Structure 1
C-alpha cells in the first residue's frame, strides 16, 4: 500500500486545498502522471504522482484544506487487490458508557447492527457509485434497513458535497504576501547570507545574439536572459556546492541543475518555478520552455515539480531599470543569482577606454554551504562563459 500525501511545494507552503481529482478508485497511474489539482497561496498546481500503482482510496474531497504531508490518497502496489488491502479506519469519537451502565450485565440477546469489524452496511451498487464519486461511503449515515447505506444516500452526499471555489484575485494576493513574508522571514532568520557582486561585460554576448536572431521570426528569437540562465547552469557543474539544499543540518546536492526563474505576477507578488536540466538543453529549447513557464505562472497553472524542484534561483530585474539585485535566498536552497539591467558603461579594454554593454551579477549564498572565495570563483566562471556565447 502506498500513501500519497499533500506535497510541499516550497518553503512558503504549509497547506493546500484540493480543487479536483483527475483519477478515481480503480484507475492505474504512472510515474509523473497528473492526479489532482491543488490550490496554494501562489497558484493552482497540477499534482504529479511519482509512484506507479492503482488508486485504492481518495481520502479527501474537493474543497478540503489539509496541511502538507497529510495522506490524501492510497495506491495499491503490484500484487495487492481491493479485497485484501486494509482500508483506512474512519475516525469517530469514542462513545463512553454511562456509569450506571458500566456494571450492568449485557442482555443475553442484545441486538447488533454491526459485525465484529464495525463496518457499515452498504449495498454493492452504493459502494461502486461512492468510489466513482470519490466519496468515503464508510463516513455516511445510512437510511436503509438496519442503517445500511443506499445508492440514494450516496447520491444525496454527492449533491451536498461542497465544491471547491477558486480564490479571488484579492484573496490570492493577500495569501501570497503572507506566504512570501513567512518564507523570507525564515530565510533571513536562519540563513547566514553573504553577498558578492561582479560587473560582467556583455558586448560579445549581445553581438552574437543579434547575429543569431537576424534570420529568425520574432517568436523564435532568443532573449539575453536565456544566455544568462545557460551560463549559470554550466557554471554550477563546476561549483556544485551552490546547487542544492541545506536540510537536516547538512548540504544536500540537487538531483539536477533545475533553475528557479523569478517571475513577477501581473496582480503583484512573485513566483519562482523551475526550469529543469538547464545545463543539458540547447538555447532554442530553453527559450521555448521559458516562455511557456512564464505564461503558465502568470495564469496560475503550474505543476508540482515546477514549484518544488528548483536547486538555485535566478532573478533578473534589469527590465525594471535597476543596476543591481541583492536577493534573499529561497529556503532550503543555498544560493540565488541576481542580474541587473544591461546598459552601456565606461570600460577599459586592453588599456583603452571605451563604452561596453555590461550588467551587474550578484550572488547571495548560504555561508553554511560555501564561502566567499568559492562564490567569487563561481561568478568569475559565469563571466568567462558569457564571453564565448557561441559555445553555450
Structure 2
C-alpha cells in the first residue's frame, strides 16, 4: 500500500488546503495524472500522482487545511487488493482500574474542540469540522474558522498570505544558507544581431525573446558546473536529475512565483519560447501543476524589463544557486583597443558556499558569457 502525502510545493509552503479530488476510491491512477487540486499561499495547484496504482481511500475531505507530509490518500500497488492490505488492529483498551481510582472521562483526543455555533454552521455548510485547524483557545474551531473555510480568500488576503510565505522562506534562506555573490557584465551584441535576423523570418507569435537565449545559455553551462544544479538536503549536496530552471514570474495581483521549465538544456529555442509563454500564462491564471513547483533545480530571475541594471537574489531552498539578469542596455565597451558601444546585461550569481566556492561560480558565469557569443549554437 502506498501513502499519498500532501506534497511540498516549494520551500515557502508548510500547509495547503485541499480544494478538490479528481479521483475516487477504486479509480486507477498513473504517474503524472492530476489527482487533486490544492490551494497554497500562491496559487491553486494541480497535484500529480507520482506512482501508478489504484485509489484505496481518500483520507481528507475538500476544504481541509493539511500540513505538508500528512497522508491524504492511500493507493494500492499493482497486484494488491483491498482485502490483501494489512490494516493494523485497533489497540486493546487497558484493563479498567479499581472503581475508587477511576478518573472522570477525558475528552477524546480524536474529537476536535469546537464551539456549538461553529458545529451548527459547519453542518449547514456541509463542512467536516474535524478537518479544520482551530484558532480558538486550545485549538478550538470557532465560527470564524468555519466561515473562513467556506468562502474563497479575497485577493488582498491571498496577496498578504503570499507575502508572508515568501518572507518566511527568504528569511530562513538568508539565516541558514552561507550566500556568496558574483556578477559579470556580458556583451550581447552578437546575440542581439543573430536574434534580429532570426526573428525577421518569423511571424510575431513565433519570435524569440532575449530571455530565452539567456535561459538556454544558463542551462547549457550547468552541464559543466553541476554543483550549482541541485539541492542541499540532510547536510549534503544532492545533484538534480535534470536541468529544470525555475523562472521567477511576477503575478498581476502581487507576489512572485517560480515554476520550473523542465529539461531546458535539451530543448530547441523555439520549444522553450512556446513553453515559457504557456508557463507565464498559467502561472498568472493559477493553473500550475505540482511538478512545476517542486522540480526547479536552479532559479533564474530576469528583471531587465523592469529597468534594473542588476539583481542579486536570495537562494530558494533547498536549491543552492540563483542567477539574476539585469536590463539589456547599450554601454561603453572597449574592443581591440577601440572604444565603442555594446548592448550588455549584468548577470549575477547567488550561490551556497556549502556546495561551491567563488572560483567555481566565476567559471560558471564565464561559461554563460562564452555561450552567448555564439547564439546560433544554442
Instruction: Indicate whether the TM-score tops 0.5.
Output: yes
Tell me which residue corresponds to 1:179: 165
TM-aligned CA deviation for residue 10 of structure 1 = 1.0
Q: How far 1:83 sits from its partner (Å)?
A: 2.5
**Pair 31,89 (structure 1): closer, same or farther in 2 beyond 3 Å:** farther
Per-residue deviation, residues 221-266 of structure 1 (Å, max 9, x unmatched): 1000000000000000000000001111111001100000000111
Give unmatched runs, 5+ long, in structure 1.
104-138, 140-156
Does structure 1 residue 224 correspond to structure 2 residue 204?
A: no
The alignment partner of 1:8 has SS state of coil
2:118 alignment partner in structure 1:
none
Unmatched tracts of structure 2, length 5 or more: 103-110, 112-122, 129-148
Q: What is the distance in 1 between the residues matched to 2:88 and 2:278? A: 40
Question: Hey, what does 2:4 align to over in structure 1?
Answer: 4
- The 3 A distance-change label for structure 1 pair 211 and 159 is same
Cα 1:88–1:38, aligned 2, differ >3 Å: closer, same or farther?
A: farther
Deviation, 1:267, is: 1.1
- Residues 201-229 of structure 1: CA distance to partner in whole angstroms, max 9, x if unpaired? 00100111011111211111100000000
Question: Do the aligned residues in 1 keep the contact of 2:328 with 2:345 (CA within 8 Å)?
Answer: yes
CA 1:248–1:216 in 2, change beyond 3 Å: closer, same or farther? same
Helix, strand or coil: the match of 2:73?
Answer: strand
Cα–Cα, structure 1 residues 89 and 20, in superposed 2: closer, same or farther, change >3 Å? farther
Instruction: Tell whether 2:126 aligns with 1:160.
Output: yes
Deviation at residue 170 of structure 1 after TM alignment: 1.2
Does residue 61 in structure 1 map to residue 61 in structure 2?
yes
Pair member with larger Rg: 1
Q: Is the 8 A contact 1:19 1:164 kept in 2?
A: no
Cα gap change, 1:16 to 1:96, in 2 (>3 Å): farther
Q: Give distance in 2, aligned partners of 1:390 and 1:263.
A: 27
Shift of residue 328 of structure 1? 0.4
- The alpha carbon displacement at 1:166 in A equals 3.5
Q: In the superposition, relative to structure 1, how do residues 89 and 280 fare at CA in structure 2: closer, same or farther (>3 Å)?
A: farther
Write the mapping of 1:357-368 to structure 2, written as runs, cut at 5 A.
357-368=343-354
* SS of 1:229 mapped into structure 2: helix
> Which residue matches 1:21?
21
* Equivalent residue, structure 2, for 1:288: 274
- TM-score, normalised by the number of residues in structure 1: 0.82
Secondary structure at 1:225 match in 2: helix
The aligned residue for residue 224 of structure 2 is 238
For the aligned residue pairs, the C-alpha RMSD in angstroms reads: 2.3
Aligned-partner Cα distance in 2 for 1:78–1:290:
36
- Cα deviation for residue 100 of structure 1 reads 3.5
Tell me by how many angstroms 1:161 deviates.
3.6
Cα deviation, residue 159, structure 1: 7.6
CA distance in 1, matches of 2:88, 2:345: 57
State how 1:240-319 maps to structure 2 within 5 Å.
Answer: 240-319=226-305
Further displaced range: 35-44 or 163-172:
163-172
| C-alpha deviation, 1:79, in angstroms | 1.9
Residues 1:207 and 2:193 are matched in the alignment? yes
For normalisation by structure 2, the TM-score amounts to 0.85
Q: CA deviation at 1:65?
A: 0.6
For 1:273 and 1:95, locate their aligned partners in 2 and report how far apart those are by CA, in whole Å: 52
Deviation at 1:167, TM superposition (A): 2.5
Please state whether the residue corresponding to 2:241 is helix, strand or coil: coil
Picking from 346, 363, 377, the partner of 1:377 is 363
> In structure 2, the residue corresponding to 1:286 is in which secondary structure?
helix
Alignment-derived partner of residue 45 in structure 1: 45
| Structure 2 equivalent of residue 106 of structure 1 | none
1:62 to 1:383, Cα distance in 2 relative to 1, 3 A: same
Distance 2:215 2:89 in 1: 49
Deviation for aligned residue 1:77: 1.1
Give the aligned partner of residue 99 of structure 2. Answer: 100
Equivalenced residue count is 339
Structure 1 contact 258–310 (Cα < 8 Å) conserved: yes
**SS state of the match for residue 267, structure 1?**
coil
Deviation string 1:92-138 (CA, Å, 9 cap, x unpaired) is xx8996963989xxxxxxxxxxxxxxxxxxxxxxxxxxxxxxxxxxx
